[in-house]
Amino acid sequence: MSSKKRIAVVLKGYPRLSETFISKEILELERAGFELSIISLRHPTDKHTDPVHGEIKAPKHYLPEYIYQEIFRVWWAKINCTFKLGFWKTIPIFFKDFMRDPSANRIRRWGQAMVLAHEYAGDCDHIYAHFLHTPCSVARYAALISGKSFSISAHAKDIWTSPEWEMREKLEDCDWLVTCTEGGADYLKTLAPAGRVHLVYHGLDLSRFPPSKMAPSKNDGSTKVKTVKLVTVGRAVAKKGIDSLLQALANLPDDFYWQWTHIGGGPLKKDLEALALNLGIADQCNFKGALPQSEVLETYKKSDLFILPSRIDETGDRDGLPNVIVEAQSQGMAVISTSISGIPELIQNDSNGILIQPDNVSDLTKAIELLSKNPKLRIEMGKLGEEKVRTYFSHKQTIGDIVSLLNKSLKVTG
pLDDT single digits (tens) 300-346: 999 999 999 999 999 998 998 999 999 999 999 999 999 998 999 99
Q: Please calculate the CA angle 377-382-383 and round it to the nearest 5 degrees.
A: 100
pTM beyond 0.85: the answer is no
CA dihedral for 7, 10, 15, 19, sign (positive or negative)? negative
Q: Given a cut of 70, is residue 212 above it in pLDDT? A: yes
pLDDT score, position 50 = 83
pLDDT in tens, 241-257: 999 999 999 999 999 99
Residue 135 Cα distances to 138, 170, 186, 202, 257, angstroms? 5, 12, 22, 19, 46
Phi, psi of 318 (to 5 degrees): -155, 165
Yes or no: say if 121 and 8 are a contact pair by the CB < 8 Å rule.
yes
pLDDT of 413 above 60: no
Task: Find the angle CA(57)-CA(25)-CA(62) to the nearest 5 degrees.
Answer: 55
Q: Are 147 and 168 in contact (CB under 8 A)?
A: no
Q: How many angstroms from the chain centroid is the CA of residue 165?
A: 23
Provide the angle, in degrees to the nearest 10, between the axes of the packed helices 242-250 and 269-278: 10
Contacts of 143 (CB under 8 A, 6+ apart): 121, 127, 149, 150, 173
Average pLDDT of the residues in 291-297: 91
How many helices (H) and strands (E) are present in the chain, helices listed first? 16, 13
| Cis peptide preceding 102, ω within 30 of 0 | no
Least-confidence region, from 51-55, 125-129, 272-276: 51-55
pLDDT at 46: 85
Cα 341 from Cα 317, distance rounded (Å): 11
Residue 414: what pLDDT?
44
pLDDT band of 412, cuts 50, 70, 90: low
| Start and end residues for every CATH 3.40.50.2000 domain found in the chain | 6-203+394-410, 228-392
| Bridge partners (DSSP) listed for residue 228 | 258
Task: Give the Å distances, CA to CA, from 191 to 24, 159, 161, 168.
Answer: 29, 11, 14, 5
Kindly give the residue spans of alpha helices, DSSP state H, lying in 65-208: 71-81, 85-100, 104-119, 134-146, 157-160, 164-173, 182-189
Give the pLDDT score at 161.
Answer: 92
DSSP 215: P
What is the assigned CATH class of domain 6-203+394-410? alpha beta
Inter-residue contact 177 to 132 (CB < 8 Å)? yes
Q: How confident is the model at residue 11 (pLDDT cuts 50, 70, 90)?
A: very high
**Distance of alpha carbon 81 from its chain centroid, rounded?**
33
Burial group, residue 286, by CB count within 10 angstroms (0-12, 13-18, 19+): middle
User: Can you say how many angstroms the Cα of residue 291 is from the centroid of all Cα atoms in its chain?
Assistant: 16
Cβ neighbours, 10 Å, residue 48: 14
For residue 202, the SS3 value is coil
pLDDT at residue 355 tops 80: yes
pLDDT cut 90: percent of the chain above it: 87
Average pLDDT over residues 169-192: 96
User: How far apart, in whole angstroms, are the C-alpha atoms of residue 117 and residue 2?
Assistant: 23
Mean residue pLDDT of the chain comes to 95
- What's the mean pLDDT in 395-413? 87
Span of 41-55, 239-253, 369-383 with lowest mean pLDDT: 41-55
Between 3.40.30.10, 3.40.50.2000, 1.20.1050.140, 3.90.550.10, what CATH number should domain 228-392 receive? 3.40.50.2000
Instruction: Judge whether residue 3 has pLDDT over 80.
Output: no
8 Å CB contact between 356 and 367? yes
Question: E strand or H helix at 60, and its extent?
Answer: strand 60-62
Residue 292 carries which DSSP code?
Answer: -
For 34-43, 294-303, 315-324, which range has the lowest pLDDT when averaged over its residues? Answer: 315-324
Cα 371 off chain centre by:
28
Give dist(CA 390, CA 393) in Å, integer. Answer: 6
Listed in sequence order, the residues at least 6 apart from 37 whose beta carbon sits closer than 8 Å to its beta carbon are 6, 7, 8, 9, 58, 59, 61, 120, 123, 124
pLDDT value of residue 12 = 96
* Parallel/antiparallel/unpaired status of strands 35-42 and 60-62: parallel
Query: What is the phi-psi region of residue 195: left when phi exceeds 0, alpha when psi lies from -120 to 50, beta otherwise?
Result: left
The whole-number pLDDT of residue 2 equals 45
Three-state DSSP state, 195: coil
Q: What CA–CA distance (Å, rounded) separates 160 from 155?
A: 9
